[in-house]
Structure 1
Amino acid sequence: MWKLSNWSYSNQRKLIIFAFSIVPIILLVTFAYLPVVNMVKYSFTDWNGFSKHLDYVGLKNYKTIFTDPEYFAVFKVSLYYFFATFVQMALALYFATILSFNVRFKNFFKGVLFLPSLLNGVAIGFVFLFFFKPDGTFDTVLHALGLGSYIQLWLGNPGIINISLAGASIWRYMGFNFIIFLGAISSISKDIYEASDIDGANRWHQFMHIILPSIKKILQLNLILAVSGAISAFDIPYIMTGGSNGSETFVIQTVDLAFKYSKVGLASAMAVVLLLIVVIVTLIQRLLIKEEKA
């Protein structure tokens, strides 16, 4: 009769590893890799999501994405979120630099800045929906400051709607970058600051010659991730506008094409494009990190 005790320790170890790994691997293949393979296959078809027959159209869907103004316009919308990322990172770095030194109520301000990162994107969308609505919070503040003449339809004017949504995105993600920058800055030895004080350096000199060089890798990483983050914006614009008035993002358009207009083939092609952008961004990130180490 076969007994596990007759096996060597090495074979028992391999069996245990295999037994504990097989279920996660099956789940990973079933819910991650297999859908990606199917998505790539559907991107070369005009499948509507219901029919059993697939008509292959080659690269037609990809050509449509990059040549049809109706679909290519979403890339322009992504630029608002991309530039908003620079504003968000600048603010996060500014506050992280200030709060890395001894200031009054430092812990209180840390909590206030980080709080939005703990909130759900759907909740933030509803908060800013009331914030930007006519006669809402923002309009009330402008009236109180005597700037009532500047009031607009913040979510109804196609010329400024994406700026409003990008502003909400800045408020949501700034706290996350703030904590990352604060942690990186706090890891700098205090002896370096003391030595620079002796040499007569002010805060600006310390920021330019001590802080920035020390967190260079963190800045590079966040800048690279800004590309994929800008093109994958979804929850805030979807909750606040549903993609109307020229605020439709890449992901919103993909979801609408697949589930509202039954263009699963075209939606799959857009998802593949997004996946390729994320992969390219990741490769660039790895190359930059390797160059820094070298």
Structure 2
Amino acid sequence: MGRLTPWLYLAAPLGLLVIFTYVPVVSMFSYSLTNWDGVSYDSEFVGIDNYVQLFTRPELFQVFFVSLYYLAASLFQIVVALYFAVVLSFKTRFRNFFKGILFFPYLINGVAVGFVFLYFFKQGGTLDSFLGLLGVQSRQFWLGDPDLVNVSLSSVSVWRFLGLNFVLFLGAISAIPSELYEAAEIDGANRWQIFRSIIAPGIKPILGLVTILSISGSLSVFEIPYIMTGGANGSTTFVIQTVKQAFQFDKTGLASAAAVVLLALILLITWIQRKIVPDERNELA
């Protein structure tokens, strides 16, 4: 009975994991091989035809290029978050105040953020008014111009998720033993030398985690562009396209194939990240 006790405790969470994670994944893959419309009981097996469509139809493939805007924004976000985490890890005036300002946007609901910035980027709205105060007369269609819409939307993502990366970096820096900083200061090291020799190696695992989260997040962006533009003017992301294929065009098989591709991409990126930045516990073993 003693050996069964741990399994009895694990039975409920494992059952929920299988029912709500692995079973849907298997079902999604099976749907991706059919032309099921999501409503009828009948479906026709089409093999890999849905996958071929994803990579051969330009209107379906172009969403990968939209993700590049969010990827570039994520890389910029990592640099900014790391900068503030390093600066605020040292003794700075109003340090806790600035920590709160940086983390606060992450606490706001994504739908609320979308509606707030919808008026911010509106023609003649807050952004144009602010530029007017600076002497710049601007009446740009920030969300209507295909050349500006993805830059505008990805900048919102930078503002919203900066706090999450900042906290992750700050926690990793705080975990570095203070004795190392004291020894470096005794040796006369400046802050750049402390960052290069102590902080950068110490936060390497977290940097890898933040990178994988940023890349996977840039591929799965949904709520902000969906609320602000609905995918119009060339702002359709991978997830928005998948949702439209399933619920607007009744192509659940094609949408399932897109979801499988997204899952495969995230798993591939995670595998590459684990190879480039291996787990320190595995290295010690």
Superimposed CA distance per residue, residues 179-222 of structure 1 (whole angstroms, 9 cap, x where no aligned partner): 11111112223332233223332222222222112112211221
Using the TM superposition, name which of 139-148 and 73-82 deviates more.
139-148
Counterpart among 152, 160, 163 of residue 140 in structure 2: 152
Distance 2:15 2:202 in 1: 43
Deviation of 1:115 after TM superposition, in Å, equals 0.4
1:225–1:281 Cα contact (<8 Å) kept: no
CA, structure 1 residues 258+103, in 2 after alignment: closer, same or farther (shift >3 Å)?
same
Equivalent residue runs for 1:223-234 within 5 Å: 223-234=211-222
Q: 2:257 aligns with which of 269, 274, 277?
A: 269
Per-residue CA deviation, residues 47-73 of structure 1 (Å, 9 max, x unaligned), is 111222211111111011111110000
Counterpart contact for 1:92–1:178, Cα < 8 Å: yes
Q: State the match for 1:163 in structure 2.
A: 151
Q: Spell out, residue by residue over 1:233-270, the C-alpha distance to the aligned partner (whole angstroms, 9 max, x if none).
A: 01111111111100000000000000000011100000
1:88 aligns with 2:77: yes
| Number of residues of Structure 1 aligned to a counterpart in Structure 2 | 282
1:145-198 Cα shifts (integer Å, max 9, x gaps): 11224x411111100100000000001110001011111112223332233223
In 2 relative to 1, CA 19–205 (structure 1 residues): closer, same or farther, beyond 3 Å?
closer
- The CA distance in 1 between the partners of 2:178 and 2:15, in whole Å, is 50
Q: Distance in 2 between matches of 1:109 and 1:161?
A: 30
Q: Match of 2:36?
A: 47
Of 163-172 and 131-140, the range deviating more from structure 2:
131-140
Shift of 1:20: 4.7
Q: Within 2, Cα distance between the matches of 1:179 and 1:227? A: 18
Asked whether 1:244 is paired with 2:205, we answer: no
Residues 29-56 of structure 1, C-alpha deviations (whole Å, 9 max, x = no match): 3332222111111111111112222111
Determine the structure 2 residue equivalent to 1:72.
61
Larger radius of gyration: 1
Residue identity matched to 1:265: G
Secondary structure class of the residue paired with 1:148? coil
Give unmatched runs, 5+ long, in structure 2: none
Task: Give CA-to-partner distance per residue, 1:2-32, whole Å, 9 cap, x none.
Answer: xxxxxxx43xx62x55555444444333332
- Taking a change above 3 Å as real, the CA distance of residues 172 and 47 of structure 1, as seen in their structure-2 partners, is same
Whether 2:274 is the aligned partner of 1:290: answer no
Cα deviation, residue 224, structure 1: 2.3
Pick closer, same or farther for the CA change 1:32–1:159 going to 2, 3 Å: same
Correspondences of 1:79-228 after superposition (within 5 Å):
79-149=68-138, 151-228=139-216
- In structure 1, stretches of 5+ residues that fail to align are 1-8
2:245 to 252, 257, 260: 257
Displacement after TM superposition at 1:289 (Å):
4.3
Tell me the TM-score normalized by structure 2.
0.93
User: In 2, Cα distance between the equivalents of 1:257 and 1:143?
Assistant: 41
User: CA–CA distance in 2 between the matches of 1:219 and 1:23?
Assistant: 34
Rate the CA distance shift 1:140–1:46 in 2: closer, same or farther, 3 A: same
Give the Cα separation in 1 of the matches to 2:79 and 2:153: 18
CA distance in 2, matches of 1:22, 1:219: 35
Contact 1:184–1:215 (Cα < 8 Å) also in 2: yes
Please give the alpha-carbon distance, in whole angstroms, between the structure 2 residues aligned to 1:95 and 1:24: 38
Judged with a 3 Å threshold, the aligned counterparts in structure 2 of structure 1 residues 218 and 18 are, in CA distance, closer, same or farther, namely: closer
Instruction: Tell me the equivalent position of 2:21.
Output: 32
Please say which of residues 159-168 and 22-31 is displaced more in the overlay: 22-31
C-alpha RMSD over aligned residues: 1.8
- What is the one-letter code of the residue matched to 1:287? K
Moved more, 19-28 or 113-122: 19-28
Query: Does the residue aligned with 2:249 lie in a helix, a strand or coil?
Result: coil
- Opposite residue 95 of structure 1, the aligned amino acid is F
